[in-house]
Amino acid sequence: MAKVPALPRLLDRKLYKAGQTRGADDDVIYQNRVLRRSTVLIPYDCWNDCQNPPEGAAEYENGYIVLLTPEDYFSRPERAQELAAQGLVAGANALIVYETREQWLANNPDALNWVPAEQRKSPLGGQYIARVPANTAEGGDKINRGFTTTKKKGAGIRVFEYASKPTINQTKLQLEAVFWLCIDADATVIRYGMSQQNAELRKASTLEKARLQNLLDLPRLKEARILNQNGTTICPLCLEEFSAEGFFKRMPQAQGRAVQDLTVTQVNLFHIQELKVGVFNHRPYNVGWGHHHCNVVARDVGIPGTLKWMETVLTRNGLVVNRLVAAAE
């Protein structure tokens, strides 16, 4: 079987990143830009909704850690036994997370002879993690303990970002297929280094693989706002047809505020139903491509909520305009 030609590097990298989580800095407990099948962190108040992984799988591929607040864990003497009855044990599959100085002072882990956790699978190597910001008013330094080394930075990923390896591969394939349905995909990849023959071969191969895996159901893609009625790729929020150039071009920057290391492109991964705790929305037929600005607006609200908000804004502005026109007359 002939080897499938490679995509232009920037597009290939964009597809790979679709299988990764969003970024996280050093002052949070999450891993930065890792695969969506990494260890998941489940807040205890979400345990009932998230203890079962998606797609009927028996377990999360790289396990889970349940996160408890000190207020919850130390709420009563029998709390550890109550949690154990639910299968949750600090240092095995659960951790206490210190995020405020008040929590730290009230139940100092040093006084309990606790040690910070460093492993993502049981045993975790400790009972707690700390991400307490500095407080100059009280003279307190920042406290970052647990999962702080280069190789072990971050305890895991947000549970709602999780997807299994098969799901990651399917979404990546569907996203590439959707790219090839852009109005000028062929011409664009040729401009960015592919030969016409290689572009035609890669496109045909990708679309056929997607069809065989039931990832190219056009009516379903149209209903999800990933394609328009012509079968062309669109932004799920504003419904504008894409030029494939948006996958390669960086976002324009305001004059006088430009930075040299900007890597954000005009088109980015877009979840049709937003990522949220209790569901696993990184999956086929819920991933498309959207404008960067549309994605920023809709990311945590979802398309229906965003459209309702936009309608309200436009209505208010329309009323203002009407009053101005009436006054001018």
Contact at 8 Å (CB) between 173 and 287?
no
pLDDT score of 27? 83
The whole-angstrom separation of Cα 213 and Cα 201 is 18
DSSP characters over 210-239: HHHTT---HHHHHHTTSB-TTS-BB-TTT-
pLDDT for res 24: 74
pLDDT tens for each residue of 83-140: 999 999 999 999 999 999 999 999 999 999 999 999 999 999 999 999 999 876 666 8
Asked, for residue 318, whether it belongs to a domain, the answer is yes
CB neighbours (10 Å) of residue 247? 23
Determine whether 257 is exposed, middle or buried from the number of CB atoms within 10 Å of its CB (0-12, 13-18, 19+). Answer: exposed
**Segments forming the whole domain that contains residue 276:** 165-298
- Indicate if 69 and 186 belong to the same structural domain: no
Number of domains in the chain: 3
The answer to the question of residue 260 being in a domain is yes
| Contact (CB, 8 A) for 84 and 92 | no
86: left (phi over 0), alpha (psi -120 to 50) or beta: alpha
- Residue 67: both structure tokens together: 């996160």
Q: Is residue 8 part of a domain?
A: no
d(C-alpha 48, C-alpha 29), whole Å: 21
Asked if residue 293 belongs to a domain, the reply is: yes
| Pair (154, 26) in one structural domain | yes
Q: Enumerate residue ranges in the chain where pLDDT < 50.
A: 251, 253-262
* 270, 290 Cβ separation under 8 angstroms: yes
The per-residue pLDDT for 123 is: 95
Q: Give the pLDDT of residue 301.
A: 86
pLDDT of residue 1: 57
- Please check whether residue 132 lies inside any domain of the structure: yes
Residue 309 has phi, psi (to 5 degrees) of -65, -45
Domain-located, residue 291: yes
Q: Are residues 185 and 217 in the same domain?
A: yes
Same domain, 52 and 132: yes
**Based on the domain organization, do 169 and 290 belong to the same domain?**
yes
29 and 156 in a single domain? The answer is yes
pLDDT value at residue 319: 63
Quick check: is 171 in a domain? yes
pLDDT tens column, 61-78: 999 999 999 999 999 999
Q: Does one domain contain both 209 and 316?
A: no
- Do 119 and 200 sit in the same domain of this protein? no
Report residue 292 as tokens.
């960067």
Do 151 and 243 fall into the same domain?
A: no
List beta partners, residue 140. 135
Distances (CA, A) of 158 to 24, 41, 286: 10, 6, 18
Tell me whether residue 128 is in a domain.
yes
133 and 38 assigned to the same domain: yes
Q: Under 8 Å CB-to-CB from 112, ≥6 apart: which residues? A: 127
